[in-house]
A and B are shown apart, each in its own frame.
Chain A
Amino acid sequence: TGCEDFLDREVPGKLSEEGFYLTDSDALQATTSIYDIMQAHYNTAWTSIYMVKLMPSDESNAAGSGPGDQPAYQNLDDFNFDSENAAVKAAWDLTYRAIFRANKVINKVQPENALRKRLIAEAKFLRAFNYLELVSLWGDVPLVLDEIPAEQFTSTSRSPKAAVYAQMEKDLTEAIVDLPLKSAYSGGDRFRVSKGTAQALLGKIHLYQEKWADAATQFETVISSNEYGLESSVGRVFSKAGEFGKESLFEISYSSIEGYNWGNFPWGSQPESNIHLQLMGPRSDYYVKAPTDSLIGGWGFNSPKAKLFDAFVAAGDTKRRATTIMSQPELEAKGGKWTTDSGYEYEGFFQRKYGTYLSQTSSEEGDTPELNYGTNWRMMRYADVLLMAAEANYRTGSVGKAQQYLNMVRLRSELPAVLAGGTDLFNAIVRERQLELAFEGFRYQDLVRWGLAAQELGPLGYKQGTHNLLPIPGTDVRVAGLSQNPGY
């Protein structure tokens, strides 16, 4: 009738779900949205899962201007975080948002052609990747494989870790079949996950479950595929030139072409640049860069601990250290300055791995360099695979292989080969992961799974039985009745 017609209005800018997930183009856009949400580390506030994983480790301090500056990060750093921690909640939420989007692709896209099969395989990888974050950080978690209507919020509970691992293994096994080799991707598609990425993740999942032989097998497949190799230096891995390079298995991509400045930066939204780089740069109120250096000032969070610097020194590691961490005397020797003696949680060091480098941002006319870092998060890289392979082989007793893979990584940084076996070999692997992968967000999970967290992190406030897992966000406990982890 006329009145009904008067009331039925299309909503501008909204497409109903029935009209989507139908074409190749829909499938591509739906898959892109998974990668995109994994890029949302700032996501309207400062709530990066990278920082959630890094802060509880012994690599750096929250720092910034003071203890109240970024309380979520500060509390993670101090081991006094609770179930209301905004960064923990956002890490949980965003991980599940990626899973939600992956579920849509897996459930709704019909695998009618090779492209769609591959996109579904990418979605399966991304779902497994996010579930690994969940089980390794929170333990048992709800296993969500489809959209949950509101009526079922309260009837959903946490699944045992084993069930979640089984789903990940299934997803990855299926994904490996349909994913191409890295070399089969060309041009812009090189950011996509490949067969090797899925095999490496499957290996990592085995490793986390202490299925050592299965892990070693998967890593061996990746290594023997000859699809990957080590860059000439760690510095090069983290340079612009290293993005999607031969050492790269999986990266989250950011942009420096947005032309952001103080007037147009989308605070409270989802920027395309990696604004966390600016958060982590040396605090510019006190930092004067050396004339020849390209590391500019930022806001001083994620400020390195002396413990890490000392570990590099003790290991006789100089080349790799130079691209990872810089001391104040080194800054001053190059002609830079640090103009205060009272920087908050400042121990005298500057981070250079994910550095505020002018070369990784844009300073074209109108662009503010501080706001345009295009630096990608390196989620999986070949050196990590080699070290995991070394660990798996050590556990299965293949000492030779373990040494071989460990030393491949050491050699690149001009360090002498490790020839020891037994516990010494294991300790060497532990140290190598600490130094090679410093500031990359792996150490806290490594220490927990090795059972070394109490020893290494205890002095910082870590309590075994509580801090080996993060708290389930309060919202999920209250709204859906999820059980809480011990101690929270």
Chain B
Amino acid sequence: VALAQTTINGRVTSAKGGEGLPGVSVVVKGTTSGTTTDVDGRYQLQAPANAGTLVVSYIGFANQELPINGRTTINVTLQEDQQALEEIVVIGYGTQQKSLVTGAISSVKAAEIATVSSSRIEQALQGRTAGVTVLPASGSPGSGMRVRVRGTGSNQSSEPLYIVDGVRTGGIEYLDPSEIASIEVLKDAASAAIYGSEGANGVVIISTKTGKTNTSDISYGFQYGVQSVGKLMPMMNAQQYQQYQEEAKSTPRPTAAEAAAVGKGTDWFDEVFQSAPQQRHTINFSGGTENSTYLVGGSYFTQKGIVGDDKSKFDRYTVRINSDHKIKPWLNIGQRLSYSNFSRSSLAENDEFGGLITSALSLDPLTPVIYSGQLPAHAQAALEAGHPLARDENGNYYGISNFIRGEYGNPVARIALAHGNTVQNKLVGNIYADIEPLKGLKFTSRFGIDGAFQKQHAWTPTYWFSSESQNSIASGSDNQNNWYTWQWENFATYNKTIGQHNFTVLAGTSAIKSTSNFVGGSYSGLFREDDNFSYADGTPDDNDRIGSNTTISTLGSFYGRLAYNYAEKYLLNATFRRDGSSRFAQGNQWGNYPSVSLGWVVSNEDFFPDTNINHLKLRASWGQNGSTGNIRPGQWFAAITPSGKYLDANGNYLVGASPDIISNPNLKWETSEQVDFGLDLGMFNNRLTFTTDFYNKKTKDLITAGVAPGFAGNPAGDVNGGNVTNRGWEFELTYRSDAASTFQYEVSGNITTVKNEVTFLNPNVNEILGANIGTTWPGATVFDVGYPIWYLRGYKTDGILQNVEEVNLYKANITGGGYSPQPGDPRIVDLNGDKQISSADFTMIGNPHPDVIFGARVNLAYKGFDLLAFLQGQIGNDLIMGFNRTDRATANKPAFFFEDRWTGPGSTNSWFRANTNDGAVYSSDLMVFDGSYARVRQLQLGYTLPNTLTSRIKIKSARLYVSLDNYFTFTDYPGLDPEAGSNNANSLGIDRGTYPVPRLAMFGLNFNF
């Protein structure tokens, strides 16, 4: 019998913003009558005449049931679901309801990522979640980010493992933030253990955006910003420089008359820093039908440098095609595919030997940028000696210093002389098939690739700054690097519920093969000093060099997981992974990685009282992970390698060959073991959420470069050198307004404490010396028991020797020598009491690791306006000002060296006299500064156009915003940037002339059609 039908229509809108919601399910309760809303949120359905209730549901919003009461037009306003805890988090090889997670997993969603202004997705993690540190390696365009999960766990690379859509990738620099749906960070061992030998430094899982069924969307984003340098460190002007050098008796130094002739002289920072633009366009097309969804997107990003403009430039475009298809009721297939291309030009930075910023720091203020009139005598003499002095585009000679030589040179000229760039093409993706032969059982097979193909090209024209910094013949180089990894994974998941018992079981295998190929060469004698002739074809062959190599490594794995819960109250997760790696000797190839974690959702207990607490969960986990990133294939055995060549008496080469290291067939996996105790709390219907974790992470059998005594006759290979612990607390607190209120706000903050300590050292290794600074500070960082990893080491000082009597008194106790101070020099402490000052007196003078890292955010929204403020910082880390070299005594120095200097008895007890060449003074704690800082990462004001306006112009939503990024920094560090970074783990905390992170003033807009 056909019942009478009525037509009901209406529009579903969001309570926040009021825009139409597409794809919302609208169903007549208890019937099969239903539909989904169109792009404007409109729907129309046929309902039985006696229909009573309409059910409206949409992911991320609270369901609503509305009595029909005979109405034919029903408009619905949906509230966003405050049950944030019900969100789904991505875990290795699967997903889990957040409320049931037993590990320490932090999650960042697309909405938060949307405000990011950087080209780097890592920035989305910065300061947002406890336990995750993200620091830029440098402020130059396209430079990397250093991501640390719960401290520095290893002595070499401590980068986490990156999994993008299930594919492990070498890095995530190829992703644009607009491509990302979510980022999860698996912080504790139990969560990461499913990645076994690669999970020791944490795992970052990234899921890219996909289309949604029954939608069709276009979103476009645009950003334009201007970067500028923040606070500059004042350097000595010409008079200060001259006076300082005079007092220090450095040679060759200028006379007072020479200094007076140039006034304040050249401010090299003014000359090299400038404002520089950056721009980003992103577009995504997405949509789908019941059986297929798709997303096609692309982005373009371009950034010039605040030093060097287009000589320090980064361009990147990305293309993404994601699709999923339901081929059969039991078969889903799909693919994630991303292509990116970047081009980067860069200048030498963070290098006390000839880095560009270091040249700007070091060059004397008496040297002009260019010579406009007559050349001074020393430049004239160089010209007459036939040296190729560099000229600017107008034909003027660039200034060459008469006082500071060495590796330095006029930084403006150096920028002009830099030619070259790196271009990388990268393809990352996978194809997958999900088969569900019976309900609850799913089998997944996926094949992924990560291929990067990189070309570096550079050439150097002839120039002459000094006998130590010159190029007498134009030369070039080309390098090609290819990295290619494939992985094939097969795993099955089975879900079963028996009464209140819920089981999910996973079992799988994985095979990964990575290869890298390098070929490169250099050549000289370019036909013309011009880009067009900067290739080896057309140069004489005599000076050509070529090199090439290949590495191959494989990893085979078995893994499984049991997730169990009883009535969502008692939670258990157990995982196991067994990994085999070709990097080790037979017999040491396999490692086992177990984990177990438990949870108790107290708030789900019947006895739990009815309070404002709506969610309370206690968690505990233990697990083991490994790390192989630090070990190259074949490191465990001594190989016969061509060790060099030797000229015989007829002038022909003989080849020599010898073992390259002392073998260590016992070399084994680095293992990280971690316990974690956590608490999750939700109050006031989750308007307040709080999470805290205590973690203790112990990295055992750390793989380090071995140290052999010299008499062993060959370098030691890698050894399992020691243990490191990182332990601390993490706190995350968020408070947000009621979803219904017009004024929306959210305040959140996170704090992490980290205590890092080396707890064991292989007795065959003793201390391990890390980075040197300049030529007079060996082992400025050290790996040793009882200290933080790569702590800062140097002389301890105890005030300034004020007069001759104090000097004599001091020298009476330093009969062995090693340091010969004058009044005004620091009192260097003879720590070991051997009556001489030597590096045996070096001691810990600083800790490069922060004690506390923190982030805080405020979001406000009112009637279309929104404001975002985001602060991030760290406390307790030390920095060495490492660009002052005593072997280059006449290099310019920061002005405070002059202003704060000791000038006579009693003048100061905290800073030394003019002294440019005493290695002991410059290897002391006087060079160590507090590196704590707080930086306002973002201050963003946005406006979302009202729906009444956007619907008229057929736009779903439009938001305009302005943003100030990295604009305000609070720090006591006198150098250019407290985030002075380094990619080398053992150089952390050493400022060798860092490229400061620029400030950015930006305008942006987002449209959704």
Taking beta carbons and an 8 Å cutoff, which residues of A are in contact with B? 3, 6-9, 11-17, 19-20, 26, 28-37, 39-40, 65-71, 80, 82-84, 86, 89, 92-93, 96-97, 99-101, 103-104, 141-142, 144, 147-151, 153-154, 156, 187-191, 243-244, 253-255, 257, 259-264, 270, 272, 283-285, 288, 297, 299, 339-340, 342, 344, 364-368, 374, 473-476, 478-480, 482, 487
Bound CA span A339–B645, Å: 40
Of chain A, the residue at the smallest CB distance from B525 is A366
Of chain A, the residue at the smallest CB distance from B466 is A285
**Do B556 and A100 touch across chains, with their CB atoms under 8 A apart?**
no
**Do B713 and A103 touch across chains, with their CB atoms under 8 A apart?**
yes
Bound CA span A86–B952, Å: 76
Of chain B, the residue at the smallest CB distance from A86 is B778
Bound CA span A57–B616, Å: 78
**Do B711 and A478 touch across chains, with their CB atoms under 8 A apart?**
no
Bound CA span A285–B404, Å: 11
Closest-CB distance, A171 to chain B (whole angstroms): 16
Bound CA span A118–B816, Å: 49
Quick one: which of A8, A69, A141, A364 has the most chain B CB within 10 A? A69
Report if B654 contacts A (CB, 8 A). yes
**Do A263 and B839 touch across chains, with their CB atoms under 8 A apart?**
no
B467's partner among A34, A244, A297, A478 (CB-CB below 8 A) is A297
| 13 residue pairs bridging A and B, Cβ less than 8 Å apart | A31-B656, A103-B713, A190-B648, A243-B649, A244-B649, A259-B542, A261-B543, A262-B472, A263-B522, A368-B472, A476-B710, A478-B767, A479-B764
**Do A66 and B889 touch across chains, with their CB atoms under 8 A apart?**
yes
Taking beta carbons and an 8 Å cutoff, which residues of B are in contact with A? 250-252, 381, 385, 405-406, 460, 466-468, 470-473, 475-477, 511, 513, 522, 524-525, 539-540, 542-543, 545, 549-554, 556, 580-582, 586, 589, 633-634, 637-660, 662-664, 706-714, 716, 719, 763-767, 774-776, 778, 816-818, 836, 838-840, 885-889, 917, 919
Q: A68-B887, A69-B887, A478-B767 are in contact. Are A365 and B640 (CB under 8 A)?
A: no
**Do A14 and B641 touch across chains, with their CB atoms under 8 A apart?**
yes
Closest-CB distance, B461 to chain A (whole angstroms): 10
A100's partner among B642, B646, B714 (CB-CB below 8 A) is B714
Q: Which residues of B contact A67 (CB under 8 A)?
A: 886-887, 889, 917
Bound CA span A89–B778, Å: 13
Of chain A, the residue at the smallest CB distance from B521 is A264
Q: A29-B656, A261-B473, A366-B524 are in contact. Are A84 and B645 (CB under 8 A)?
A: no
Q: A68-B888, A475-B709 are in contact. Are A7 and B764 (CB under 8 A)?
A: no
Bound CA span A86–B887, Å: 15
**Do A476 and B650 touch across chains, with their CB atoms under 8 A apart?**
no
Q: Which residues of A contact B707 (CB under 8 A)?
A: 475, 479
B818's partner among A39, A80, A299 (CB-CB below 8 A) is A80
Q: Which residues of B contact A374 (CB under 8 A)?
A: 647
Bound CA span A344–B917, Å: 13
Of chain A, the residue at the smallest CB distance from B890 is A66
Q: Which residues of A contact B917 (CB under 8 A)?
A: 66-68
Of chain A, the residue at the smallest CB distance from B580 is A7
**Do B252 and A68 touch across chains, with their CB atoms under 8 A apart?**
no
A3's partner among B405, B580, B711, B714 (CB-CB below 8 A) is B580
**Do A97 and B713 touch across chains, with their CB atoms under 8 A apart?**
yes
**Do B654 and A28 touch across chains, with their CB atoms under 8 A apart?**
yes
**Do A272 and B641 touch across chains, with their CB atoms under 8 A apart?**
no
Of chain A, the residue at the smallest CB distance from B589 is A7
Q: Which residues of B contact A270 (CB under 8 A)?
A: 644
Bound CA span A328–B719, Å: 55
Closest-CB distance, B529 to chain A (whole angstroms): 13
**Do B658 and A104 touch across chains, with their CB atoms under 8 A apart?**
yes
Q: A33-B657, A68-B889 are in contact. Are A96 and B551 (CB under 8 A)?
A: no
Q: Which residues of B contact A82 (CB under 8 A)?
A: 818, 836, 838-840
Bound CA span A299–B712, Å: 34
**Do A36 and B580 touch across chains, with their CB atoms under 8 A apart?**
no
**Do A476 and B885 touch across chains, with their CB atoms under 8 A apart?**
no
**Do A84 and B556 touch across chains, with their CB atoms under 8 A apart?**
no
**Do B713 and A35 touch across chains, with their CB atoms under 8 A apart?**
no
Of chain B, the residue at the smallest CB distance from A142 is B711
Of chain B, the residue at the smallest CB distance from A267 is B353
**Do B643 and A37 touch across chains, with their CB atoms under 8 A apart?**
yes
Closest-CB distance, A486 to chain B (whole angstroms): 12
Bound CA span A264–B471, Å: 10
Bound CA span A28–B641, Å: 14
7 new A-B pairs (CB below 8 Å) besides A255-B653, A261-B524? A11-B552, A29-B655, A83-B838, A96-B712, A148-B711, A150-B716, A261-B475
**Do B648 and A84 touch across chains, with their CB atoms under 8 A apart?**
no
Bound CA span A97–B710, Å: 8
Q: Which residues of A contact B589 (CB under 8 A)?
A: 7
Bound CA span A479–B706, Å: 11
Q: Which residues of A contact B539 (CB under 8 A)?
A: 366
**Do B708 and A15 touch across chains, with their CB atoms under 8 A apart?**
no
**Do A339 and B381 touch across chains, with their CB atoms under 8 A apart?**
yes
Bound CA span A482–B712, Å: 12
Q: What 6 A-B pairs are tightest by C-beta distance, nearest first?
A: A100-B713, A263-B475, A33-B656, A11-B634, A68-B887, A14-B639
Bound CA span A254–B710, Å: 25
Bound CA span A254–B653, Å: 10
Q: A17-B640, A71-B919 are in contact. Are A104 and B659 (CB under 8 A)?
A: yes
Q: Which residues of A contact B653 (CB under 8 A)?
A: 255
Of chain A, the residue at the smallest CB distance from B522 is A264
**Do A253 and B648 touch across chains, with their CB atoms under 8 A apart?**
yes
Bound CA span A128–B381, Å: 51
Q: Which residues of B contact A26 (CB under 8 A)?
A: 657
Bound CA span A3–B656, Å: 37
Closest-CB distance, A476 to chain B (whole angstroms): 4
Q: Which residues of A contact B650 (CB under 8 A)?
A: 187-188
A479's partner among B633, B640, B766 (CB-CB below 8 A) is B766
**Do B473 and A253 touch across chains, with their CB atoms under 8 A apart?**
no
Q: A68-B885, A263-B471, A270-B644 are in contact. Are A33 and B658 (CB under 8 A)?
A: yes
Bound CA span A170–B859, Å: 83
Q: A82-B838, A99-B713, A478-B767 are in contact. Are A8 and B645 (CB under 8 A)?
A: no
**Do A479 and B765 touch across chains, with their CB atoms under 8 A apart?**
yes
**Do B708 and A367 touch across chains, with their CB atoms under 8 A apart?**
no
